[in-house]
A and B are shown apart, each in its own frame.
Chain A
Amino acid sequence: MSEKREGPAIETSGLVKVFGDNRAVDGIDLTVPTGAVYGVLGPNGAGKTTAVKMLATLLRPDGGEARVFGHDVAREADAVRSRVSLTGQYASVDEDLTGTENLVLLARLLGHRKPAAYARAAQLLEAFGLTDAASRQVKNYSGGMRRRIDIAASILNTPDLLFLDEPTTGLDPRSRNQVWDIVRAVVAQGTTVLLTTQYLDEADQLASRIAVIDKGRVIAEGTKGELKASVGAGSVHLRLREAAQRSEAEALLTRALDAQVQVEPDPVALTARIGAGDSGQGAAEQASRALGELARAGIVVDTFSLGQPSLDEVFLALTDHPATTRESAATATSATSATSSEEAAV
Chain B
Amino acid sequence: MSTATTTDTRDEHLAPVSTDSLAALLVAKERPPRPTARSASVTFGWRAMLKIKHVPEQLFDVTAFPIMMVLMYTYLFGGALAGSTSEYLQFLLPGILVMSVTMITMYTGVAVNTDIEKGVFDRFRTLPIWRPSPMVGYLLGDLMRYALASGVMLAIGMLLGFRPHGGVVGVLAGVALLLVFSFAFSWIWTMFGLLLRSEKSVMGVSMMVLFPLTFGSNIFVDPKTMPGWLQTFVNNSPITHLSSAVRDLMAGDWPAADIAWSLGWSGVLLVVFGTLTMRLYNRK
**Residue among A81, A126, A145, A153 making CB contact with B14, cutoff 8 Å:** A145
Residues of chain B with a CB closer than 8 A to A62's CB:
none
Residues of chain A with a CB closer than 8 A to B43's CB:
105, 108-109
C-alpha gap A137/B50 in the complex (Å): 11
The reply to whether A142 and B51 form a contact with Cβ atoms under 8 Å apart is no
Chain A interface size, under 10 / 10 to 19 / 20 to 34 / 35 or more: 35 or more
Closest Cβ neighbor of B120 among chain A residues: A94
Q: Which of A60, A142, A147 has the most CB of B within 10 A?
A: A142
Closest Cβ neighbor of B3 among chain A residues: A170
Residues of chain A with a CB closer than 8 A to B55's CB:
96
The reply to whether B11 and A127 form a contact with Cβ atoms under 8 Å apart is no
Residues of chain B with a CB closer than 8 A to A155's CB:
25-26
Asked whether B16 is an interface residue with its Cβ less than 8 Å from the other chain, the reply is yes
The reply to whether A142 and B14 form a contact with Cβ atoms under 8 Å apart is yes
Closest Cβ neighbor of A175 among chain B residues: B11
Interface string of B210-222 (1 = CB under 8 A from A): 0000000000000
Please give the distance in Å from A62's CB to the nearest CB on chain B: 12
Interface 9-mer from A82-90, A253-261, A262-270, A294-302: A82-90
The reply to whether A113 and B32 form a contact with Cβ atoms under 8 Å apart is yes
Within 8 A of B (CB), among A42-91: 44-45, 49, 53, 56-58, 60, 78, 81-82, 84-86, 88-91
The reply to whether B14 and A129 form a contact with Cβ atoms under 8 Å apart is yes
Within 8 A of A (CB), among B6-52: 6-11, 14-19, 21-29, 31-35, 39-40, 43-44, 46-47, 50-51
Residues of chain A with a CB closer than 8 A to B25's CB:
120, 123-124, 127, 155, 158
Residues of chain B with a CB closer than 8 A to A225's CB:
none
Interface 9-mer from A27-35, A186-194, A238-246, A274-282: A186-194
Known: A60-B283, A97-B54, A145-B11. A89 touches B32 (CB 8 A): no
Asked whether A346 is an interface residue with its Cβ less than 8 Å from the other chain, the reply is no
Known: A148-B17, A182-B19, A185-B19. A93 touches B32 (CB 8 A): no
Known: A57-B126, A97-B54. A92 touches B119 (CB 8 A): yes
Within 8 A of B (CB), among A143-194: 143-148, 153, 155, 157-158, 166, 169-172, 174-175, 178, 181-182, 184-186, 188-189, 191
**Residue among B9, B21, B127 making CB contact with A126, cutoff 8 Å:** B21
Please give the distance in Å from B237's CB to the nearest CB on chain A: 36
Residues of chain A with a CB closer than 8 A to B29's CB:
158
Residues of chain B with a CB closer than 8 A to A126's CB:
18, 21
Within 8 A of A (CB), among B49-72: 50-51, 54-55
Residues of chain A with a CB closer than 8 A to B51's CB:
94, 96-97
**Residue among A88, A101, A132, A143 making CB contact with B119, cutoff 8 Å:** A88
The 24 listed contacts between A and B (C-beta, < 8 Å) are: A53-B122, A56-B126, A57-B126, A81-B127, A82-B31, A82-B128, A88-B119, A92-B123, A94-B47, A96-B50, A108-B39, A108-B43, A109-B127, A111-B35, A112-B32, A116-B32, A126-B21, A128-B22, A129-B16, A153-B123, A158-B29, A171-B7, A181-B17, A185-B26
Known: A94-B51, A94-B120, A127-B22. 13 other contacts (CB 8 A): A82-B31, A82-B128, A91-B4, A91-B5, A95-B118, A105-B46, A108-B43, A110-B35, A111-B35, A123-B21, A142-B11, A178-B17, A186-B22
Residues of B within 8 A of A (CB): 1, 3-11, 14-19, 21-29, 31-35, 39-40, 43-44, 46-47, 50-51, 54-55, 118-120, 122-129, 283
